[in-house]
């Protein structure tokens, strides 16, 4: 899927998405884009959504529009399992917008399990970011190219042997 200057996939709640190919956009124009109005994200969802990226899978945000992340999740109880590549040229590869919050419980935290590559071109800026909310659980077994920016929330970070963070 290549949608050029628009959001590729936009979901509300309770979805499971499996990516074994390439989902890409090239957001360069003005406008909020997408169902959520938070930028022309490649994939966006609200809550209770699972995104699984297979070994050959790629989620790419190749444009230069500020606010257009590869994956932007608005709510809670989301899970990303990355065995491939999640990449953004200009913005965070993964952003947790946290505009919809749950009850703050441990069970409602967003979860990222990285066994592949998550990154962005500018390693001095965040590849993964949050705006607060319930927090995230990040387990890295792969490579994160760029920083990790965590706002308020109850966050847990696990960096397993052999994992790398460049940023």
> What is the share, in percent, of the chain residues with pLDDT greater than 90?
66
Distance of CA 44 to the CA centre of its chain: 8
Confidence class of residue 32 from pLDDT cuts 50, 70 and 90? Answer: low
What one-character-per-residue DSSP string does 31-76 give? Answer: S--TTT-S---SEEE-BS-EEEE-TT-EEEE-S--TT--SEEE-SS
- For the stretch 151-163, pLDDT in tens is 877 899 999 999 9
Count how many Cα atoms sit within 13 Å of the Cα of residue 3 in the half-sphere of its side chain.
22
> What is the share, in percent, of the chain residues with pLDDT greater than 70?
95
Residue with tokens 């500020």: 66
Residue 96: beta bridge partners?
A: 73, 130
User: Contact at 8 Å (CB) between 67 and 39?
Assistant: yes
Q: What is the pLDDT of residue 104?
A: 65
- For the stretch 43-62, pLDDT in tens is 999 999 999 999 999 999 99
Q: Token pair for residue 40? A: 């022309």
Q: Which residues contact 137 (CB under 8 A, 6 or more apart)?
A: 109, 110, 111, 112, 155, 156, 158
């Amino acid at each position: 899927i290549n949608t050029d200057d628009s959001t590729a996939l936009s979901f509300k709640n309770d979805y499971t998405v499996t990516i074994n190919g390439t989902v890409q956009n090239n957001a360069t124009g003005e406008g909020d884009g997408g169902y959520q109005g938070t930028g022309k994200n490649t994939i966006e969802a609200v809550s209770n959504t699972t995104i699984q990226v297979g070994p050959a899978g790629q989620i790419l945000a190749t444009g230069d529009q500020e606010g257009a992340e590869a994956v932007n999740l608005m709510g809670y109880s989301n899970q990303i399992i990355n065995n491939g590549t999640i990449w953004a040229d200009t913005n965070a590869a993964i952003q947790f917008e946290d505009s919809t919050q749950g009850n703050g419980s441990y069970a409602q935290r967003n979860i990222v399990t990285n066994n592949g590559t998550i990154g962005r071109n500018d390693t001095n800026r965040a590849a993964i970011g949050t705006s607060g909310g319930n927090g995230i659980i990040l387990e890295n077994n792969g490579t994160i190219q760029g920083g990790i920016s965590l706002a308020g929330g109850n966050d847990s970070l696990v960096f397993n042997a052999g994992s790398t963070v460049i940023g």
